[in-house]
Amino acid sequence: MKVPALQRLRAKLKSATPVYGLWITLESPSICEMAVALGLDWVTIDAEHGHLDWKEIVEHVRAAVRSDTVVFVRLAENSPALIKRALDVGADGVIIPWVETALQLEAAVAAATYPPRGIRGIGAERATCWGQCFIEHTGEADQNVMVIPIIETVRAVKNIAELAAVKGVDLYFFGPADLSSTAGFPGQWEGPGVGDMIVRCKDTLRAAGKHCGVITTDNANLALRREQGFAALGLGLDAGLLLRSLHGALASQGRDRQIRASFTLENNAASLAAEKPLICAPPEMKPDRPELMNARGSGQVLDVAPGIQIEFLVGAHNQARNLTTGLVTFAPGAVLPCHRHTFGESITLLRGRALVDVEGRCYELGPLDNVTVPKGLAHRVLNLSRSGPALFHIALASADPSRELVTTFFPKRTMPDVTATVPGGERVTYVKKATRYSPGAAAAFVDFCNSDLVPGFEMSGGYGLFQQGGRLPAHLHDFDESICIVEGSATCLVEGRRYTLSDLSTALQPRGRVHYFINETPVPMAMLWFYAGPLPERIVVDEKCATEPGVAASA
């Protein structure tokens, strides 16, 4: 047990100085050595999930010996045997999962302390220098050991006041994913309302003089959690940080992709161009509506607020299903009042400078930046310019859009300009900094929204940039698609029919229509695409299905 390191950690917490750490799930002790070399305040060795065995755990503990980095071990359960073993091999503290009551937490504290206060047995292991330091260790262990519960169930939230009163505990961690699951949102990191639940619990613990910790999902979330008052900030899991770095490096080369739970290439962005084309479209995908090419100025126009006008280019008026897209013009200084929808919305600034406020979280946007807002979240939009208009592209996950005005006041907070998803909330994409991938020759795409990026989101969509000759393979979808040309000129081929689009013209490709886009000009072409489906799935078919009449409908 590294008593000086524990004392320094507690002193930082007491002085409201954040302490930063790393969650370790991989077996190499070099990971712990790196954390120590970088001066992290703490590391947690995860023995609850994953594959680490006790030999690997003790190697991580050894990697931090004689350092200022405190080592915690997260155990598989609240077990006196596991608590004793982790402390005996030299851990400075233990993290206990699924703690829901004060009695459970008191039992964990007792298991981590020696008699007469507790029930921990004395062993001739690393903690006592193999039996050489019985008196020294037992004299200092009880007052320094850290027992840290994880608040990760709705029941624990209900009992947070009594958990806060347990003596011998000064730091509490939160588990957003399991808390979301017990709240009825399995698979979400922070389901609806869970973020507020965590903050309320944190406030209760802080009022009791206790400190709170949480793992953060990215740099934007790290800044948010620090601002919210969390003291022990996990920079991430070792595997997650490695994947973040790999995604960035692959994206710089147009090779990034999403991992699927099946470990297959299905729905994988980087592998789309390598899909084996079908000879023809599946007969069950035969379309029942024609494609439509909609020039700017040809859509339905509606005044939605003073100085704000929307032109619907795709929607119920031209038989689109589960999808509405259009262009919204803001006069100088115009403000779209706070409102919400019963469906998701994706907002992309095309021209000007604007601010999107989602329940007080304020994002300043430049051209082609995007904010995706899940259903039920209140938001408003402002044109920041007092002298020039702003132009937006919007996509709504409904063919019959409606809104509800909201008068609730939300405290304002300026958010960092980092591409990220707020847990349980919106996603912002700053297109110049975002991850890109290649779905076709000389084409680079940025995903704005899908159910992987925004859990539960009904649409998928993003930005595509095509250099000269850039194109997609012939393909079709099991849902409707809207494609708006925001830069240059595009050629679209649909089952033998050829179209040229530019200047914000928008194509509606109904379910089942075989098509592809190509840039046949020497200057770049760019588009915004949105699917009435939660993932960017497509069926690639033979080229002639898009270029020859009648082939697409072959049985």
Q: What is the CATH number of the domain that holds 196?
A: 3.20.20.60
3-state secondary structure of 66: coil
pLDDT above 60 (res 424): yes
Instruction: Give the burial class of 497: count Cβ atoms within 10 A of its Cβ; 0-12 exposed, 13-18 middle, 19 or more buried.
Output: middle
What is the mean predicted confidence (pLDDT) over 465-478? 93
Calpha distance 339→323 (Å, rounded): 19
pLDDT at position 15, please?
Answer: 97
pLDDT at position 515, please?
Answer: 96
Same domain for 165 and 85:
yes
Q: pLDDT-derived band of residue 436, with 50, 70 and 90 as boundaries?
A: confident
pLDDT at position 435, please?
Answer: 83
pLDDT above 50 (res 344): yes
3-state secondary structure of 473: coil
Q: pLDDT-derived band of residue 122, with 50, 70 and 90 as boundaries?
A: very high
Tokens in use for 105?
Answer: 């937490």
Name the residue range of residue 332's domain. Answer: 253-553
pLDDT at position 261, please?
Answer: 63
Instruction: Give the burial class of 125: count Cβ atoms within 10 A of its Cβ; 0-12 exposed, 13-18 middle, 19 or more buried.
Output: middle
The number of distinct structural domains making up the chain is 2
pLDDT above 50 (res 270): no
Same domain for 240 and 267:
no
Q: Which residues of 189-203 are buried (b: 16+ CB within 10 A; e: fewer)?
A: bbbbebbebbbebbe
CA dihedral 226, 251, 516, 279 (to 10 degrees): -110
Q: What percent of the chain has pLDDT over 70?
A: 94
Report the range of poorest mean pLDDT among 164-168, 184-188, 274-278, 321-325.
Answer: 274-278
Q: What is the pTM of this model?
A: 0.57
What is the mean predicted confidence (pLDDT) over 520-544? 94
3-state secondary structure of 191: coil
Residue among 150, 88, 77 at smallest CA distance from 114 = 88
pLDDT at position 72, please?
Answer: 98
280 vs 262, which has greater pLDDT?
280
Calpha distance 286→344 (Å, rounded): 28
Same domain for 261 and 242:
no
pLDDT at position 268, please?
Answer: 44
Same domain for 291 and 146:
no
Contact call for residues 294 and 508 (beta carbons, < 8 A): yes
Residue among 499, 509, 517 at smallest CA distance from 318 = 509
pLDDT at position 275, please?
Answer: 58
What is the mean predicted confidence (pLDDT) over 13-39? 97
Q: pLDDT-derived band of residue 549, with 50, 70 and 90 as boundaries?
A: confident
Q: pLDDT-derived band of residue 265, with 50, 70 and 90 as boundaries?
A: very low
Same domain for 242 and 261:
no
Q: Which residues of 273-298 are buried (b: 16+ CB within 10 A; e: fewer)?
A: eebeeeebbeeebebebebbbbebee
Same domain for 277 and 232:
no
Contact partners, residue 286, CB within 8 Å, separation at least 6: 512, 553
Domain boundary among 246, 266, 296: 246
pLDDT at position 110, please?
Answer: 98
Contact call for residues 210 and 172 (beta carbons, < 8 A): yes
Domain boundary among 220, 246, 272: 246
What is the mean predicted confidence (pLDDT) over 278-293? 88
Q: Which residues of 80-106 are buried (b: 16+ CB within 10 A; e: fewer)?
A: bebbbbbbbbbbbbbbbbbbbebebbb
Same domain for 300 and 336:
yes
Q: What is the pLDDT of residues 230-257, one digit of tens each?
A: 999 999 999 999 998 887 777 666 566 6
Q: What is the pLDDT of residues 494-505, one digit of tens each?
A: 999 999 999 999
pLDDT at position 552, please?
Answer: 60
What is the mean predicted confidence (pLDDT) over 200-222? 95
CA dihedral 171, 176, 179, 180 (to 10 degrees): 170
Tokens in use for 154?
Answer: 């709705």
Q: pLDDT-derived band of residue 258, with 50, 70 and 90 as boundaries?
A: low
Q: pLDDT-derived band of residue 71, with 50, 70 and 90 as boundaries?
A: very high
Same domain for 258 and 239:
no
What is the mean predicted confidence (pLDDT) over 299-311? 96
Instruction: Give the burial class of 60: count Cβ atoms within 10 A of its Cβ; 0-12 exposed, 13-18 middle, 19 or more buried.
Output: buried
3-state secondary structure of 17: coil
Pairing relationship of beta strands 443-449 and 460-466 according to DSSP bridges = antiparallel
Residue among 307, 459, 304 at smallest CA distance from 373 = 459
Domain boundary among 246, 262, 283: 246
Angle at 71 between CA 69 and CA 72, to 5 degrees: 145
Averaged pLDDT of the chain: 92
Q: Is the peptide bond before 116 cis (omega within 30 degrees of 0)?
A: yes
Q: pLDDT-derived band of residue 324, with 50, 70 and 90 as boundaries?
A: very high
Top mean pLDDT of 156-170, 265-279, 413-427 is at 156-170
Same domain for 211 and 330:
no
pLDDT at position 281, please?
Answer: 79
Q: What is the CATH number of the domain that holds 447?
A: 2.60.120.10
Catalytically annotated residues = 49
Same domain for 536 and 458:
yes
What is the mean predicted confidence (pLDDT) over 202-220? 95
pLDDT at position 273, please?
Answer: 44
Tokens in use for 326?
Answer: 């259009």
Q: pLDDT-derived band of residue 187, with 50, 70 and 90 as boundaries?
A: confident
CA 111 to chain centre: 37
Same domain for 263 and 227:
no
Residue among 446, 508, 500, 440 at smallest CA distance from 474 = 440
Amino acid 381 reads V
Q: pLDDT-derived band of residue 433, with 50, 70 and 90 as boundaries?
A: confident
Same domain for 234 and 177:
yes
User: Dihedrals φ, ψ of 275, to 5°?
Assistant: -60, 145
What is each CA distance from 302 to 43, 306, 326, in whole angstroms?
56, 11, 11
Q: What percent of the chain has pLDDT over 90?
A: 82
3-state secondary structure of 174: strand
Q: pLDDT-derived band of residue 409, with 50, 70 and 90 as boundaries?
A: very high
